[in-house]
Structure formats: C-alpha cells, structure tokens
Amino acid sequence: MERLDDAAMTTPVASDLGTKRQRIERLIERGDHLANVQQEQQAETISKPHTISSRISPSTCTTKAVFPARRSSWTAQEDNKLKNLVLQLGNRNWSEIAVHFPSRDRKRCRDRYVNHLSPSLTSASNTWSAEDDVKLLQLHLTLGCKWATIAKEFNGKSAESVKNRCLLLARKTLDKSSKGTRAPPQRWTATEKNKLRALVTTHGARNWLFVASQLPGRTDLQCLQQWYRTLDNKVVKGKGTWTPGEDQVLVDKVAELGRKWTEIAAFLPGRIGNQCRERFLNHLDPSINLVRVLFALLLRDFYS
C-alpha cells in the first residue's frame, strides 16, 4: 500500500488517472482497434476457405476447448427408432436408449429428441418476433448461456433454438460493424440522441446490444461511444472556455506523448480525451496556426 501511495504522489494529477471516465475512453479506443483486427481476420479467412481456422465456428459461450468429432446426420430411420424407444423407455433413460445406437452417445440421443423430435415442439420454435428478440437479449444478459433456463420463458422453443437465435443476433450485430469496408458513421440526429437517452435511462448503460437493437443503423459500439463521449451527464465539460494554461499543458503533452488523447486528458482535470483532441486539432495544431498567420499576412498586403 505504501508503494502505491508513493507512486500516486509522484504522478501528476494522479487522482484522475484511474477514473471511470478514462477507463471507458481506453475501452472505446480498444474496441475500435479490435474491430479493425477482426475485420482483417475475417478478410483473411474468406481468402483462405480451406484452412483449419475456417472450419472452426467460434462461440463465446463454448466452455470446452476440445470439440468431439462431428458425427453423421441423423437418418429418418434413426429418428423413428429414437421416437419409438422414448415411447417404450421414457424420456429419462438416455443411457439405455443410447445402447441401441452404436455411433451415438446418450447426450446426442437426448439432444436430438429434445430439440428436434419432441411432440412439445411447435412450429413457433423457429419463428421469432422483434419482441422475442428483445426478450431473448435481456434474458441472455441476465442468465448468460443457460439456454435450457432461457427456453422455459418461450413456449414451444427448444434450448437449441434459443441458442441458435441468440448467436444469429450476435453475428448480425458483428456484420454491421465489421463487414467489408466500413463507411464513416453518420452524424447522430436529435431524435436518435433523445431515444438513446431514454433507453439508457430506462435500461441502464450496460446492455448496449439491446440498446442498438432499438436504434436501426447503429451498432452497440456506436451507442456506447455516443453516450460516454457526448450525452452522459456525468461527463465534466470543463468550466467555460479553455484557459491559456490548459492550452499550454495540452501542447506540451502532445509534444511529449504524441496524440494519445486519453493519457493527455489525465493531466487536465475536467477534460476528456475527445475534448483534448478537438481543442488541439481545431485550435492549437501548429499547421493550422501557420495557415492562419499566412492568411492574415495576405489580408494585410491586400488592404495596405
């Protein structure tokens, strides 16, 4: 503890270095970087369709590092045999049922029946409304990957159907943010900003995937950035305009650290990285000042 305190005493404006705002700024910058890396990896995967990596389907909810070899598809004869065995032995004796399928284990027999053959399944199992999607995202945020538990909240839907739908929604969101060459995001309209405020006020600043689903054309990352960089009332905008002292600190830190705006903001209490960036690029960048000086000289010569 003493070493931490000593380090804090020797770091300028140390009380601001570990604030929630700066951590969020770093996460946003990290998110942009990861999106670009992911886009490059997807392009490489598409260009090499026969590599091992292209045959592995990643899932954030997979808990096992080693996947069993994929078995052949179930035949119609196997399905009929499985249904008859369940009628005879019940839907709990999966080990005994699996004895009749040399190439299947009890788990595969159970999954096949519960997710595809059970009479309790209805045509609604693969039909999803917008309200269902929103409900699914909210339940996934709360319960994680407990698909069987989540499926109980949807009449006629199996755990497999719930899992596949959730993964599909995640892929759609990923495709929006990283598919192909990303066009520059459009400016947020007043209507979008008001809706974003209302959503965050109601649901909190946590489930950005759900928030983005209510704002067509916006991704979860864009919603997070817009909220924390411009709309959050907790953002300290600074009192009045920039002072000469702040400008000097900003110029000095850019010369020392480069354009690492989040780190620079730590030396300017009440300012965030985006404010530092805009102040420097629009007012303090030497190249901009040089143009202004030259323009002033031209005007003087013109009117003299």
**Do 299 and 250 lie in a common domain?**
yes
Higher pLDDT, residue 39 or 56: 39
Tell me: pLDDT of 4 over 50: no
Per-residue confidence at 11, pLDDT binned at 50, 70, 90? very low
As a whole number, mean pLDDT of residues 120-149 equals 77
As a whole number, mean pLDDT of residues 181-205 equals 80
Model confidence over 283-302: pLDDT tens digits? Answer: 777 765 554 545 555 555 55
**Do 130 and 107 lie in a common domain?**
no
Specify the pLDDT at position 300.
Answer: 55
Higher pLDDT, residue 119 or 21: 119
Does the residue 221 lie in any domain? no
**Do 112 and 138 lie in a common domain?**
no
As a whole number, mean pLDDT of residues 167-186 equals 62
Higher pLDDT, residue 21 or 84: 84
Cα–Cα distance between 57 and 68 in angstroms, integer? 13
Q: How many domains does the chain have?
A: 3
Neighbours of 185 (CB within 10 A): 14
Does the residue 271 lie in any domain? yes
Model confidence over 70-114: pLDDT tens digits? Answer: 457 889 899 899 989 999 988 888 999 999 998 899 888 988 887
Q: In the numeric block, which tokens belong to residue 230?
A: 């411009």
Higher pLDDT, residue 13 or 282: 282
Higher pLDDT, residue 26 or 9: 26
**Do 127 and 159 lie in a common domain?**
yes
Residue range of the domain that includes 160: 123-178
Tell me: pLDDT of 125 over 70: no
Comparing 58-62, 231-235, 254-258, the range with the smallest average pLDDT is 58-62
Specify the pLDDT at position 22.
Answer: 67
> What rounded mean pLDDT belongs to the chain?
72
**Do 131 and 113 lie in a common domain?**
no
Specify the pLDDT at position 99.
Answer: 92
* Domain CATH for 80: 1.10.10.60
Tell me: pLDDT of 148 over 70: yes
Does the residue 277 lie in any domain? yes
Tell me: pLDDT of 15 over 70: no
Specify the pLDDT at position 100.
Answer: 92
Closest of 259, 266, 188 to residue 227, by C-alpha: 188
Specify the pLDDT at position 40.
Answer: 67
Per-residue confidence at 155, pLDDT binned at 50, 70, 90? confident
Task: Select from 178, 194, 218 the last residue of a domain.
Answer: 178
Cα–Cα distance between 277 and 243 in angstroms, integer? 16
Q: In the numeric block, which tokens belong to residue 212?
A: 């983005």
Do 3 and 256 form a contact (C-beta atoms < 8 A)?
Answer: no
